[in-house]
């Protein structure tokens, strides 16, 4: 019970200190809006293309929201040594990591809701299964947040966190089937697509919103879950190795 | 050694950072309820030692037993029993003083009502009630140190680690903090205090360990450390101007005396016999040096530190000046 009090308060503190700040709220709204506009202009097919664009918009919003927040907030706390307080708390590394990442996961999910809300006003969105869509959003937010933590562990400065995040994010959005279906990518690039968690997330959401998935949804869920577990394990390993030096 | 009465037992602890041996095979014990001082210049290995004992750093070798729990392989095992006040005031700048204390208490599993009550009590005790709703980022250095100490004790730890608690704050705040540390000690908290202020260690600590270049060179009570100077005589001479030959000439002329020179136009004379001042002053006048003061002094812990470590007390003073610390 005592450990859960600690974990819950870490989450509450992060929400109060970082996620409910006006710049982050505006980021959560403006960023998906900007991507929506960009995609609409690029596709040139008007409002009819919204359902096809939606999975990509949601994925990008989650990816950028979670990795930015996680990488920057953790790096900031490491930089001013306040993260040491959390490392000194009598809770396990697993629980600490879950507490610390849950705020970003939630933030990422909220980021995904905004494109859905906007799209539902201007287009006819039909989702095959809302619970499965929520699960897909949750898994993408979780895996992206864990990637953000991995970036935070690798860097010392906040600006380094942003740079390294982009190093991962931009190739990922080009290779995960957002702009071009994976099946149309050059054959030698496709293996790269299959090692990116976002590929499975986008395909799952595409399947649930337009029915255009090329992999079975259950397989995508399994792969996303595996990514979450593997990256969580990597985070734990590197936290112990790099922060408990 | 009665292990039951020990709150910290450190054996053969070592830690290197690349080629630098930060802590070199140190061993010591801290008794339950004791205020133990860890005294040494900057870079001596004080903070590294605290980080290893508290689980923030992994030792290369050695064992650590805190409050009877072997933490050598599981650094988290005793974290519920310890409180840590780091050398930097590392609370959350965006949270208020009250929120910071409540958050720190929650990390130790304290319920809402209990942590709010404790936070208010500590804010009052530390004279910070009026600043309770101000953001920590806007606090003065002294207020930050006070709140950081409050955050370290809010969960009533059995063992408290204080890393340079008075460094970089004004004289009045430093004095207030020392009183708080004494009060905590009186209440029975075991305190591990690192400092490079010799006078602070002398005033507060039951026992002191001197650490230099990662090695402990002496551990004893202040009284026992001072015994090394029993029966010795000390003279402090303050002069105007400086002659390059002064050390050589004095040592040659007064072979039975030993001299230690500071850069602030003072030097100390040590002897096992009473010191005759007149010939000394005449010699200095012959060298064209005006003596403005010559006084007999009682040996302090600083003298013991200089003798044992071979470090000039100047090295410690420089640390103080660099950090704008209070005496």
For every one of its 327 residues, what pLDDT tens digit does chain B have, with 9 covering 90 and above? 567 789 999 999 999 998 899 999 999 999 999 999 999 888 889 999 999 999 999 999 999 999 999 998 888 889 999 999 998 888 999 999 999 999 999 999 999 999 999 999 999 988 899 999 999 999 998 899 999 999 999 999 999 999 988 887 788 888 888 898 999 999 999 999 998 888 888 889 999 999 999 999 999 998 888 877 777 888 888 888 766 678 888 888 888 888 888 777 888 888 888 888 888 888 888 888 888 888 888 877 887 887 777 766 555 555 544 544 444
Query: Do the Cβ atoms of B86 and A84 come within 8 Å?
Result: yes
Tens of pLDDT along B290-311?
888 888 888 778 878 877 777 6
Q: Are residues B140 and B234 in the same domain?
A: no
Amino acid B41: pLDDT: 85
Asked if A80 is an interface residue toward chain B (Cβ–Cβ < 8 A), one would say yes
Q: Are residues B182 and B154 in the same domain?
A: yes
Query: Do the Cβ atoms of B54 and A88 come within 8 Å?
Result: yes
Of the partner residues B58, B79, B111, the one whose CB lies closest to the CB of residue A88: B79
Q: Are residues B150 and B82 in the same domain?
A: yes
Q: Is residue B38 part of a domain?
A: yes
Of the partner residues A5, A92, A244, the one whose CB lies closest to the CB of residue B111: A5
Q: Are residues B44 and B182 in the same domain?
A: yes
**Residue B187, min C-alpha distance to chain A (Å):** 23
Instruction: Residue B246: give its domain's CATH number.
Output: 3.30.70.100
Q: Are residues B162 and B16 in the same domain?
A: yes
Query: Do the Cβ atoms of B103 and A9 come within 8 Å?
Result: yes
Range of the domain at B290: 230-298
Q: Is residue B110 part of a domain?
A: yes
Q: Are residues B178 and B253 in the same domain?
A: no
Q: Is residue B183 part of a domain?
A: yes
Query: Do the Cβ atoms of A84 and B111 come within 8 Å?
Result: no
DSSP, residue by residue, chain A: -HHHHHHHHHHHHHIIIIITSHHHHHHHHHHHHHHHHHHHHHH-SGGGGHHHHHHHHHHHHHHHHHHHHHHHHHHHHHHTTTHHHHHHSSS-HHHHHHHHHHHHHHHHHHHHHHHHHHHHHHS----S-HHHHHHHHHHHHHHHHHHHHHHHHH-SSHHHHHHHHHHHHHHHHHHTTSSS-GGGS-TTTHHHHHT-HHHHHHHHHHHHHTS--SS-HHHHHHHHHHHHHHHHHHHHHHIIIII--
Q: Are residues B138 and B234 in the same domain?
A: no
Q: Is residue B234 part of a domain?
A: yes
Q: Among the three residues B188, B211, B226, which one is the final residue of a domain in this structure?
A: B226
Q: Are residues B100 and B243 in the same domain?
A: no
Instruction: Residue B148: give its domain's CATH number.
Output: 3.40.50.300
Q: Are residues B74 and B145 in the same domain?
A: yes
Q: Are residues B17 and B143 in the same domain?
A: yes
Of the partner residues B75, B90, B94, the one whose CB lies closest to the CB of residue A81: B90
Q: Which of B76, B137, B158 to mutate to test the interface with A (most CBs of A within 10 A)?
A: B76
Q: Are residues B173 and B291 in the same domain?
A: no
Q: Is residue B307 part of a domain?
A: no
- The full set of domain ranges for chain A reads 2-243
Q: Is residue B217 part of a domain?
A: yes
Tens of pLDDT along A116-138?
887 888 777 788 889 999 999 99
Question: What domain count does chain B have?
Answer: 2
Size of interface A-B (CB pairs under 8 A): 70
């Amino acid at each position: 019970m005592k450990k859960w009090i600690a974990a819950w308060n870490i989450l509450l503190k992060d929400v109060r200190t970082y996620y409910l700040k006006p710049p982050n709220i505006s980021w959560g709204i403006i960023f998906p809006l900007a991507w929506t506009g960009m995609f609409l202009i690029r596709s040139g097919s008007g409002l009819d293309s919204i359902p096809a664009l939606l999975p990509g918009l949601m994925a990008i919003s989650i990816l950028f929201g979670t990795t930015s927040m996680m990488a920057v907030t953790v790096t900031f706390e490491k930089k001013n040594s306040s993260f040491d307080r959390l490392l000194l708390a009598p809770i396990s590394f697993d629980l600490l990591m879950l507490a610390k990442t849950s705020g970003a996961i939630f933030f990422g999910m909220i980021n995904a809701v905004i494109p859905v809300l906007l799209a539902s006003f201007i287009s006819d969105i039909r989702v095959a299964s809302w619970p499965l869509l929520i699960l897909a959003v949750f898994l993408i937010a979780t895996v992206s947040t864990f990637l953000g933590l991995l970036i935070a562990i690798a860097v010392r400065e906040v600006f380094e966190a942003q740079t390294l995040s982009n190093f991962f994010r931009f190739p990922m959005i080009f290779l995960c089937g957002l702009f071009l279906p994976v099946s149309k990518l050059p054959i030698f690039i496709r293996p790269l697509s299959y090692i990116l968690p976002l590929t499975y997330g986008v395909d799952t959401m595409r399947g649930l919103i337009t029915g255009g998935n090329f992999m079975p949804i259950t397989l995508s869920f399994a792969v996303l879950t595996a990514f979450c577990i593997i990256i969580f394990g990597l985070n734990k390993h590197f936290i112990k190795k790099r922060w408990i030096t | 050694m009665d292990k039951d009465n020990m709150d910290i037992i450190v054996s053969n602890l070592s830690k290197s950072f690349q080629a630098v041996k930060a802590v070199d095979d140190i061993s010591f014990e801290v008794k339950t309820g004791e205020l133990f001082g860890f005294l040494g210049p900057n870079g001596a290995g004080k903070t590294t030692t605290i980080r290893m004992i508290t689980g923030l750093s992994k030792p290369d070798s050695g064992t650590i037993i805190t409050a009877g729990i072997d933490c050598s392989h599981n650094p988290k095992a005793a974290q519920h029993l310890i409180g840590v006040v780091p050398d930097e005031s590392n609370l959350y700048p965006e949270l208020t003083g009250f929120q910071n204390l409540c958050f720190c208490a929650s990390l130790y599993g304290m319920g809402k009502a209990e942590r709010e009550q404790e936070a208010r009590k500590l804010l009052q005790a530390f004279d910070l009630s009026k600043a309770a709703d101000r953001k920590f980022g806007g606090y003065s250095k002294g207020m930050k140190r006070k709140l950081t100490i409050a955050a370290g004790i809010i969960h009533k730890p059995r063992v408290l680690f204080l890393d340079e608690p008075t460094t970089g704050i004004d004289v009045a705040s430093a004095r207030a903090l020392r009183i708080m540390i004494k009060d905590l000690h009186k209440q029975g908290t075991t305190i591990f205090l690192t400092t490079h202020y010799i006078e602070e260690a002398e005033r507060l600590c039951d026992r002191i360990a001197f650490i230099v270049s990662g090695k402990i060179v002496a551990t004893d009570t202040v009284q026992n450390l001072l015994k090394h100077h029993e029966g010795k005589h000390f003279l402090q001479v303050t002069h105007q101007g400086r002659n390059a030959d002064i050390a050589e000439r004095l040592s040659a002329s007064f072979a039975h005396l030993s001299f230690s020179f500071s850069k602030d136009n003072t030097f100390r004379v040590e002897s096992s016999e009473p010191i005759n001042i007149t010939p000394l002053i005449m010699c200095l006048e012959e060298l064209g040096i005006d003596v403005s003061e010559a006084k007999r002094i009682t040996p302090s812990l600083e003298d013991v530190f200089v003798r044992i470590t071979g470090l000039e007390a100047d090295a410690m003073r420089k640390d103080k000046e660099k950090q704008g610390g209070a005496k």
